[in-house]
Amino acid sequence: MNDEIDNSHVEFEDEPEESLDEMYLTFMLAEDEFGINISYVTEIIGILAITFVPDLPVFVKGIINLRGQIIPVIDVRLRFQKDPMDYNDRTCVIVLQIKDLSIGFIVDSVASCCAIPHESVIEPPVAQRNFHQKYVSGIGRMTDKIVQILNCEKLISEDTGIEFDVA
């Protein structure tokens, strides 16, 4: 008796591959979930010693030394004018590469890496725009949650004192 199964006659539907521009790393700030396109993300690290840099906005916490590379870090909670929170074991830094700049986003916690298809992303509602929504490029509608998708370039280029090459 032959235990091998002949599946040459079985047809498999091709699973659509999510393109990189539909993949997001999501993170939490309190009970709100935000997404960053995965193409920006280089790594996720725990909180390191942060060196204060004078004359920067309060949400730019300073710089870290990551394996010899000096990286400015922004506390996204403070950037969105949320109440400050003590860092804990869930707090992490999402290291991003945007154009020629490496930058760290301090977030409460990382939630997941997920695909959000283009057809599931809508414009942010105009009637409810507040300070942080100018940095939200879209709202990802998922089965069990809503993810606010961030425009990372705009988030770091406005009022931060941090500059990057736009060429």
Single pTM value for the model: 0.81
Reading the block at residue 85, the tokens are 């929170």
Nearest to 82 by CA among 141, 24, 28: 28
Strand duo 32-37 + 41-46: pairing: unpaired
Residue 146's alpha-carbon distances to 31, 81, 84, 113, 120, in angstroms, are 11, 20, 23, 14, 10
* Residue 20: other Cβ atoms inside 10 A: 10
CA torsion sign for 124, 129, 133, 135 is positive
Reading the block at residue 166, the tokens are 């736009």
Per-residue pLDDT tens listing for the chain (167 residues): 444 444 444 443 444 455 788 999 999 999 999 999 999 999 999 999 999 999 999 999 999 999 999 999 999 999 998 999 999 999 999 999 998 899 999 999 999 999 999 999 998 877 555 545 678 999 999 888 999 999 998 888 876 666 655 44
Reading the block at residue 39, the tokens are 């193409």
